[in-house]
Amino acid sequence: MRALVYHGPGRKAWEEVPDPVLQDDTDAIVRVDAVTICGTDLHIMKGDVPEVTDGRILGHEAVGMVESVGSGVKNVRPGDRVLVSCITSCGACRFCREGRYGQCLGGGGWILGHLIDGTQAEYVRVPFADTSTYPVPDGATDEQILMVADILPTGYEVGVLNGAVQPGDVVAVVGAGPIGLSAMMGARLFSPSHIVAIDLADSRLDAAKQFGADIVVNNGREDAKAVIADLTGGLGADVSIEAVGVPATFELAVALSRPGGHIANIGVHGEPATLHLEEQWIRDVTITTGLVDTYTTPTLLRLVTTNQLDATKFVTHHFSLDEFEEAYDVFGRAADTGALKVVLTRS
């Protein structure tokens, strides 16, 4: 088969590799019908994720058809259309039993396209198939369901639910990439009074208006703290969500929150960020962090298939599988190309 193989920082190729085979009796082999690229794949390409080594097939999001299953797989059958989630779950360890699948101790967690070969290929081996795949609901398109593999649960769980968004809240979202936009879309479900999107790129702020933000702030030109203060009688946001992953945006998210407010960090941070405890100790704030667990996947699948969430809005570009190099280029130059999510399909 062909696959997108990582060959060290800055080097990758769509090349011929051996077909994946069943290794454990709980595995499934899935034919990839639709697949996308994540911002995290760009981090890997820069060399920011050293656990990913030369020869690894990238990708942790896919929709496809089950080809074969091991003898221990009970619920998934060849011919089933399934969502392959970014998080794999053994289903039996302490953390899986409390729905904390991202922290799986039994060999799951974020492994696809990281510690084992991933989905950016014609076929993928999915461990713990019963607990790591989800049936695609009838009538849903591959493209809609693909958005539930990573970005929608990440924005919803780590942003909206960890941030405890309530009706009437003022919600500030710092960063309007696919993850920040997912958080805005998820926050809308709770009828906040305002969603304020904050980003340096006007193209991303334009997108934010389509994803539920009613106020947009370019913090390269405007003072986000002053905008939030005006809106809240000087108090600050009820919930502020960080969806960038650099020290300045974490510190901004904290500064935007009101006393008693929630600050939900989603961004992957590579450098230390300062928590000004000398200011915050007295303000009763709650700060949360997290890796997505995907425990909301069944809920999100229902919301997407009933059009309560319009997942297709994320998809800005289409390619076939053998156009992976172009797809990475377009996705990697998002500020110029306007890319949010690119979808590659079997032709």
CA dist 171 and 342 (Å) reads 28
Euclidean distance between the first and the last CA atom of the chain, given in angstroms as a whole number: 14
Q: In the numeric block, which tokens belong to residue 237?
A: 């946001």
Binding mask 108-147 for ligand NAD (x = CB under 6 A): ----------------------------------------
Three-state secondary structure of 112-147: ECCCECCCCECEEEECCHHHHEEECCCCCCHHHHHC
Among residues 33, 122, 142, 199, the one that binds ligand NAD under rule CB under 6 A? 199
Q: Which one, 41 or 117, has the nearer CB to ligand NAD?
A: 41
Residue that the structure tokens 């999915």 belong to: 126
Told to check if 148 binds Zn ion by CB under 5 A, we report no
Which residues, numbered 289-328, are part of the site for ligand NAD (CB under 6 A)?
Answer: 290-292
**Should residue 40 be labelled a site residue for Zn ion when binding is judged by CB under 5 A?**
yes
Q: Which residues contact 230 (CB under 8 A, 6 or more apart)?
A: none
Residue span binding ligand NAD (CB under 6 A) among the ranges 63-71, 75-83, 172-180, 296-304: 172-180
294 Rama class: left (phi>0) / alpha (psi -120 to 50) / beta:
left
Q: Is 163 in the site for ligand NAD (CB under 6 A)?
A: no
Residue 198's binding partner among ligand NAD, Zn ion, none (Cβ under 5 to 8 angstroms by kind) is ligand NAD
Q: Please compute, for residue 258, the number of CA atoms within 13 A of its CA located in the half-sphere on the CB side.
A: 19
Q: Residue 90: name its binding partner from ligand NAD, Zn ion, none (Cβ under 5 to 8 Å by kind).
A: Zn ion
Who contacts 214 (Cβ-Cβ below 8 Å, separation ≥6)? 194, 195, 196
Binders of Zn ion among residues 103 to 132 (CB under 5 A) are 104, 106, 108
The structure tokens listed for 275 are 């928590």
Q: Is 40 in the site for ligand NAD (CB under 6 A)?
A: yes
Contacts with Zn ion, 78-97, as mask; x by CB under 5 A: ------------x--x--x-
* Minimum separation from the CB atom of position 282 to ligand NAD (A): 26
Calculate helix-pair angle for 202-210, 178-188, nearest 10 degrees: 30
Would you tell me which residues interact with Zn ion (CB under 5 A)? 38, 40, 90, 93, 96, 104, 106, 108, 150
Site of interaction with ligand NAD (CB under 6 A): 39-40, 154, 158, 174-180, 198-201, 204, 219, 243-246, 248-249, 266-268, 290-292, 334
